[in-house]
Amino acid sequence: MDHVAVYRATMEDGQQSTGHRHFCRQCGTALWLWDPTWPDLVHPHAGAIDTPLPTPPSVTHMMLGSKAGWVQVHRQAGDVCVDAYPEESLAQWHQRHGLSR
């Protein structure tokens, strides 16, 4: 962990964010975010995952209500498309697909 540093953003109201953004102090690569508001969750940045991942059985396309006009959604059979956040959490999605540990 010698090369891992933490950044906490200053919000518009001047308060410090509760999110702890971990990154490589050597190259600046974003690694993961952890927030004590949700202590059981760690949010890894996809670019920091260095092991092969399986192809997901379906995809949830979210925040489509605010996507740029030039963005094309490549929806496959079984995918979910929502304008904002889906009702199903990421953990629930993994449970539904039998991908929980």
Q: What residues does each domain of the chain span?
A: 1-52, 54-101
pTM: 0.60
pLDDT in tens, 50-94: 899 888 889 999 999 999 999 999 999 999 999 999 999 988 988
- Looking at residue 26, its pLDDT comes to 94
Residue 10 bridge partners (DSSP): 16
What percent of the chain stands above pLDDT 90? Answer: 71
* 35 band by pLDDT with thresholds 50, 70 and 90: very high
| Statement: residue 101 has pLDDT above 80 | no
Residue 22 bridge partners (DSSP): 6, 32
d(CA 22, CA 27): 12
Count how many residues are written for the chain: 101
Residue 24 bridge partners (DSSP): 4
Average pLDDT over residues 10-18: 94
